[in-house]
Amino acid sequence: MSDSYYELIDKSDSRGEKLAATDLVRSTWSAAIQHGAPVSALLVRALERCEQRDDTRLSRVMVDLLGGVPAEGDLWVRSRIERSGKQIELVGAEMLAPGPDGQPRPVAKASGWRLKTVDTPEIIHAPAPPLRPLSDTHSRGLADRWDRNYVHSVDWRWLTHRGDSGPGESWLKPTVDLVNGENMTPLERLFTIADDANGIGPQIDIRKWTFMNTDLAVHVHRIPEGEWIGIGRRPTTGRTASAPRSAHCSTRTAPSEPSSSRCWSAPARPASSPKRYSSRPVLGRVSLPEYTFGTNPLGAKLLPGTALRPAASGHDPSPAVHSRGSARCRRPAPRTRRRRSIRRCRVRCTYRGRLRPA
């Protein structure tokens, strides 16, 4: 490969590795921002290289896009160990880019659970079958419809046709390097196309709606083999702009990884509008699944036992998060009554996740 998504400028910069993006990172939504796939792959590169150990591998990676990652200017990527351990480690990575004031600020972050590898051939199980062979695919000529951007860096073959009501299925292969002069690892190769699940099999018209995902979660059952990655995906769209996407990624031999992302959907701007992208939501509410633990797309942390305020109409039972990341929550009132026995106390504390096992 001669082209690449990024060029390494300075490995020893005080803010982290300093890189510059090429035109191949530009998004299809706007040429001013980066596609989520190269960003995710670069963060995974940092996770893998952080105090690297030969006896461990990443098993789950969560990527959060904090806003539009600018396609112009310098970038910095840094990583650290969030939670160290002999068998389980939590690794974190962060990408910085100049903000409106010119000062670097975080624009994307990733976390990954790194587990010690154990050989378990007797319990191998893959619930999803492999996709149909590559010989059944066809090309849609996406690169012919765009100026030089991300779609020019991927060999994208489709198993389904536009307008099909079922799940979307595709085989994809990156045709450029992640960083100039470096060979991609299998996981870096996987993440250069994992974010493409958002564009496979959408049930809404891309010409009328905008659906940029705010996160990407990939559970790595095994390390991918070969150049081609298959994605089978069925989207789900709610009535308050929330659109969770789930997909299975596989290689040409066996299923590999399930992945999911959450999209914020909104009507597309008119073609005459000069502003093509905004990193801040403009709708009033974004609906989340009934049980969501961790961090939601707008940055409000939801904990087990948290009850979110229902919609104003009273007919939407799902939790609601209001715009600009302010979650209006009702947490259970603190317990004031003394527990009658130590045994009951231990059971209740264990259920609430406050009692750590021995």
**What HEC string does the chain produce?**
CCCEEEEEEECCCCCCEEEEECHHHECCCCCCEECHHHHHHHHHHHHHHCCCCCCEEEEEEEEEECCCCECCCEEEEEEEEEECCCCEEEEEEEEEEECCCCCEEEEEEEEEEEEECCCCHHHCCCCCCCCCCHHHCECCCHHHHCCCCHHHHEEEEECCCCCCCCCEEEEEEECCEEECCCCCCHHHHHHHHHHHHHHCCCCCCCCCEEEEEEEEEEECCCCCCCCCEEEEEEECCCCCCEEEEEEEEECCCCEEEEEEEEEEEEECCCCCCCCCCCCCCCCCEEECCCCCCEECCCCCEECCCCEECCCCCCCCCCCEEEHHHCCCEECCCCCCCCCCCHHHHHHHHHHCCCCCCC
Residue 356 has pLDDT above 60, yes or no: no
Strand partners, 105: 97
Domains and CATH numbers, the chain: 4-271+284-291+304-311+338-351 (2.40.160.210)
| 292-312 pLDDT, tens digit each | 333 333 443 434 444 434 334
Q: What percent of the chain has pLDDT over 90?
A: 43
| 67-103 pLDDT, tens digit each | 999 999 999 999 999 999 999 999 999 999 999 999 9
| 236-257 pLDDT, tens digit each | 666 665 556 566 676 665 555 5
7, 19 in Cβ contact below 8 A?
A: yes
Residues 157-181 have a mean pLDDT of 88
Q: Quote the pLDDT of residue 78.
A: 98
Most confident of 160-169, 210-219, 294-303, 322-331: 210-219
Q: Quote the pLDDT of residue 81.
A: 97
Q: Quote the pLDDT of residue 172.
A: 94
Q: Quote the pLDDT of residue 245.
A: 57
Q: Quote the pLDDT of residue 65.
A: 95
Q: What is the pTM of this model?
A: 0.69
Residues 38-63 have a mean pLDDT of 96
CA-based diameter of the chain, in Å? 72
Q: pLDDT tier at 321 (50, 70, 90 boundaries)?
A: very low
Q: Quote the pLDDT of residue 46.
A: 98
Residues 21/22/28/31 CA torsion (nearest 10 deg): 80
- Where is pLDDT greater, at 63 or 255? 63
Average pLDDT, the chain: 75
Q: In this predicted structure, which of 32-41, 69-78, 117-126 has the lowest mean pLDDT? A: 117-126
Q: Quote the pLDDT of residue 209.
A: 74
Q: Quote the pLDDT of residue 31.
A: 93
Q: Quote the pLDDT of residue 182.
A: 96
